[in-house]
Homo-oligomer: A and B are copies of this chain.
């Protein structure tokens, strides 16, 4: 049996395995789900062993655990390839907007619906299955392989750096391939050259010692929610420009060639508007929507709350207001500098009668740009061309994969991305799903990639 037939013959099992994994609510952002993240890691350990990987173990970090396994018998003349993915997921709130429960892993229309199905449990399973198919049908792999899967990607991999640093010998590789990412469409591939970085903060605005009666104290003291709104309104103008002094200082401006490459990838703005259900696009003036999405830094309010959120009316003057704010960064912005600028600016906007404090959120990522002519990227390019029958689009994305930067820093290797999630799969939102067609294609592509890298 060749590996293609092996994949076909075992596909039903692979689907049920992915559903099993999606059913584990491994939400890394929530302390109460720590045991679930661990359970997902244990599940991956078992699965890797079944695939034929060796030295498989779960390792603790200062936060969530990682899973490592390898197969290193291809010979010293063959490259060693580190395959990356993550088994943690985003929180599933708001639950009531899901058509089927987020951790049920419902199967319909050749898709699995569930939190993490696309990001990244479906992706992470792909190289494991490819390795199994090659090992079970040929008895070996064409290259030396190291599997490295983490459980904290969705919170920005805050405790991964010291682990990689302490285990750099174990993780050492000639190439890194990430199974976290996506493709252009079901029929068109892309090659990812740029990722945005990330830094975030939580802002707390406080007024009185306790909530007050708005009739007794309205007009006498400042309103924390109003003050926080004033601060946030001043962070970004109606022109979409971020007003934090120094924010754009280190941004590498797009060249004419960059803008041409971005413009080559198809983009229908009115389709984009329809798809999301927004009345219009909105971004930094002077740049196309695609340029803003891919290559300009952003500042977003991820959450804001204070006062009464229940039904009807409550005439309270709330004592406290909070907001979570994250910035997506582009080369050569750094999380440390942007955080310092943001914090200083927010504090400078403190309204009369209120106190403002800013705290850094866990999770950072430097922006990431792949150099021209990079070996793993070239191999991925060829595989995608073969699998899809056409050249991939050269793209960037606003998403962050902090581990790519970490691995570059600690191991000195630029990663390449080969992953099969699609933009419409509601990742980080209700009704996330993963196409089983992508799941099958991904398995084939990873088999081909390992063969090509070993040739």
In the complex, which residues of chain B have a beta carbon less than 8 angstroms from the beta carbon of A283? Answer: 219-221
Minimum C-beta distance from A396 to chain B (A):
11
Given contacts A211-B430, A216-B398, A281-B220, contact A91 B310 (CB under 8 A): yes
Interface residues of A in 268-320 (CB under 8 A from B): 272, 276-284, 289, 292-293, 296, 298, 300-318
In the complex, which residues of chain B have a beta carbon less than 8 angstroms from the beta carbon of A215? Answer: 196, 198, 328, 397-400
- A237 to B, closest residue via Cβ: B230
Q: A3 vs B363: C-alpha distance in the bound complex, in angstroms?
A: 70
Copies of this chain, complex-wide, total 2
A29 touches B313 (CB 8 A): yes
Interface residues of A in 174-218 (CB under 8 A from B): 196, 198, 200, 207-218
- A301 to B, closest residue via Cβ: B225
The residue from B304, B322, B328, B354 contacting A218, defined by CB atoms under 8 A apart? B328
Minimum C-beta distance from A231 to chain B (A):
8
Comparing A8-16, A73-81, A332-340, A421-429, the segment that makes contact with chain B is A421-429
In the complex, which residues of chain B have a beta carbon less than 8 angstroms from the beta carbon of A235? Answer: 226
In the complex, which residues of chain B have a beta carbon less than 8 angstroms from the beta carbon of A277? Answer: 208-210
Q: A307 vs B304: C-alpha distance in the bound complex, in angstroms?
A: 7
Q: Is A108 an interface residue (CB 8 A)?
A: no
In the complex, which residues of chain B have a beta carbon less than 8 angstroms from the beta carbon of A310? Answer: 29-30, 91, 93
Minimum C-beta distance from A353 to chain B (A):
3
Given contacts A93-B310, A328-B214, A398-B217, contact A302 B276 (CB under 8 A): no
B321 touches A428 (CB 8 A): no
Given contacts A210-B426, A210-B429, contact A219 B311 (CB under 8 A): no
Residue of A94, A277, A315, A428 most packed against chain B (CB within 10 A): A315
Q: A210 vs B225: C-alpha distance in the bound complex, in angstroms?
A: 24
Q: A321 vs B301: C-alpha distance in the bound complex, in angstroms?
A: 11
Interface residues of A in 219-249 (CB under 8 A from B): 219-223, 225-226, 228-230, 232-236, 238, 240
In the complex, which residues of chain B have a beta carbon less than 8 angstroms from the beta carbon of A321? Answer: 304
Interface size band for A: 35 or more
Q: Is A101 an interface residue (CB 8 A)?
A: no
In the complex, which residues of chain B have a beta carbon less than 8 angstroms from the beta carbon of A428? Answer: 211-214, 314-316
Q: Is A31 an interface residue (CB 8 A)?
A: yes
Given contacts A229-B301, A230-B238, contact A278 B221 (CB under 8 A): yes
Interface residues of A in 355-391 (CB under 8 A from B): 355, 361-363
Q: Is A26 an interface residue (CB 8 A)?
A: no
In the complex, which residues of chain B have a beta carbon less than 8 angstroms from the beta carbon of A398? Answer: 214-219
The residue from B313, B328, B353, B400 contacting A219, defined by CB atoms under 8 A apart? B328
Minimum C-beta distance from A258 to chain B (A):
15
A278 touches B216 (CB 8 A): no
Q: A39 vs B413: C-alpha distance in the bound complex, in angstroms?
A: 71
The residue from B29, B218, B293, B326 contacting A311, defined by CB atoms under 8 A apart? B29
A317 touches B300 (CB 8 A): yes
Minimum C-beta distance from A446 to chain B (A):
24
B305 touches A305 (CB 8 A): yes
Q: Is A324 an interface residue (CB 8 A)?
A: yes
Given contacts A219-B283, A352-B238, contact A301 B292 (CB under 8 A): no
Q: Is A405 an interface residue (CB 8 A)?
A: no
Q: Is A97 an interface residue (CB 8 A)?
A: yes
Q: Is A144 an interface residue (CB 8 A)?
A: no
Q: Other CB < 8 Å A-B pairs besides A90-B314, A215-B397, A304-B304, 17 of them?
A: A30-B310, A91-B308, A155-B313, A208-B277, A212-B276, A214-B302, A214-B398, A214-B428, A215-B398, A216-B293, A218-B298, A220-B293, A226-B233, A229-B230, A282-B353, A300-B315, A305-B306
A-B contact pairs, 13 of them (CB 8 A): A156-B313, A196-B215, A198-B315, A214-B428, A216-B398, A221-B276, A221-B283, A230-B232, A300-B315, A302-B314, A304-B307, A312-B361, A315-B400
Can you list the 7 inter-chain pairs with the closest CB atoms, starting with the nearest? A209-B277, A282-B353, A219-B292, A215-B399, A303-B307, A233-B233, A222-B282
